[in-house]
Amino acid sequence: MKPFLLAMLIALAATHSRAELTASDLAHADKLRAAGLASPLAYELVTSLTDIGPRMAGTAADERAVAWGVERLKRLGFSNVRAEPFTMTAWRRGPGSAQVTAPNPQPLAMAALGNSVSTPAEGIEAEIAYYPDFEALKADTGDRARGRIVFIDQKTQRQRFGATYGNAVRARTQGASEAAKRGALAVVIRSISTDHDRFPHTGSVNYDKAAPKIPAVAVSIPDADLVARLAAAGPVRLRVAVATETDVPVTSHNVIGEVPGSDLAQEIVLIGGHLDSWDLGTGAIDDGAGVAITVAAAKVILDAGIKPRRTIRVVMFGNEENGLDGSRSYGARYKDVAHQLVGESDFGAGRPWRVSSRVLPGALPVVAQIAKALAPLDIAAGDNAADTGPDANYLKTRYRWPVVHPDQDGHDYFDYHHTANDTLDKIDPATLRPNIAAWAVIAWLAAQSDVAFGPLAEATK
């Protein structure tokens, strides 16, 4: 649905012959919005969570974060608080380095990509095969990459809502296997990022079972620019060395708390974020902010003292970063439970500017009413083609559970994403509050609606 059509529904909702949401529900949403704007809780929570440090799934810090989540939800007064375990295989980063060895020796700021296999202890040194982007590598049917280190110089364009990330990130997720299919010894990529700092960005590699596994690393943007300049002038040799552990069996957890519902308590409105982070930074924007925002939003509803019709469930997902194991475990456990909405805040701490949805057509008048309730926050009505955070998006895709999502301004999100620079100072406490308000309004009105938002028309495996 085009944005202007959804905007028209806002006007139609006011005169619609059937009230999808009651006047009292809408009035209560106004109170929740005001309470969210006054709440300092999200910043308090994200500060406390980042003080734990990096939270790679399956590590001791992950265990501390799970304990933190359980303790905080209980202290805040949520019901049915629990940590639900799941098994997974973890990846461990060891020492790593990358250098230009010719035409002139110099070190590069690098980070091994998640799931990367190790190099030999002495490293791998070879001439590079330069590709300006991932598509150029995929289009190569020759032997240029054979026996070389493939270098993918994929650019990521800065956008408010991060739409270019999905295309750019293929260089990271698929680049190693595509290079291996062409006989490469290793792959080095330009960080999937929009910054100009000398911080390399990590993130997962998805190895294709049909290709050999080769080491995969990212270099910072200034270093990628250096390699590109050198490659334009003549042959370049790199040396890469990484030591990693792969397929380590571990247990992690989803942390859950609830605001119990009333007459429709068996149906779930799910909001949340992911508790884990990469190991380089403290996971402030990815995704301490999302955990803090959604917990604070549910707390606003809890403190208002009026029971929602549906149960509002806050989920802190485990291992989003390197496998979505938490959302897969959640889906397997709750696949037969009706979910009115699944939403995940996982795009930093920027101000929300648009509300989008993925609901049944019959629920669009309710979404229009939600959009009208969010308009005082300067949040515009979006379309009905929404995605949400990766865990909730997996659940939407796999189980046909619907989405209503406040889209955040993420113009600088990929400056810090997956880096050592993802730290608390990147968060403006003032922008957390409209996020709390938005999620509180969305969760409350979704819980109150007479209209089912889903299940959606089709699912994909």
In this model, does residue 17 exceed pLDDT 80? no
Torsion sign, CA atoms 192, 212, 319, 457: positive
Q: What is the pLDDT of residues 273-286, one digit of tens each?
A: 999 999 999 999 99
Beta-bridge mates of residue 355: 381, 406
- Taking the C-alpha atoms of residue 36 and residue 300, their distance in angstroms, rounded to an integer, is 6
Helices (H) and strands (E) in the chain, counts: 15, 14
Q: What is the pLDDT of residues 387-435, one digit of tens each?
A: 999 999 999 999 999 999 999 999 999 999 999 999 999 999 999 999 9
Q: What is the pTM of this model?
A: 0.94
For residue 19, name the pLDDT band (cuts at 50, 70, 90).
Answer: low
Q: At what angle do helices 3-15 and 364-374 cross, to 10 degrees?
A: 90
Q: What is the pLDDT of residues 171-224, one digit of tens each?
A: 999 999 999 999 999 999 999 999 999 999 999 999 999 999 999 999 999 999
Q: Residue with structure tokens 């792969």?
A: 246
Question: Around 433, how many Cα atoms within 13 Å sit in the side-chain half-sphere?
Answer: 12
Would you give the DSSP letter of residue 118?
A: P
Average pLDDT value over all residues in the chain: 95
CATH number, domain 3-89+249-448, options 3.40.630.10, 3.30.465.10, 1.10.10.410, 3.40.50.150: 3.40.630.10
Positions marked catalytic:
320
In this model, does residue 105 exceed pLDDT 50? yes
Q: How many CB atoms lie within 10 A of CB 71?
A: 12
In this model, does residue 15 exceed pLDDT 50? no
C-alpha separations of 361 from 6, 71, 343, 371 in Å: 11, 40, 18, 15
The domains of the chain are located at 3-89+249-448, 104-235
CATH class of 104-235: alpha beta
What's residue 13's pLDDT?
Answer: 44
Comparing C-alpha atoms, which of 53, 88, 80, 94 is closest to residue 318? 88
Contacts of 459 (CB under 8 A, 6+ apart): 397, 398, 399, 400
Comparing C-alpha atoms, which of 22, 90, 9, 69 is closest to residue 294? 69
What's residue 11's pLDDT?
Answer: 46
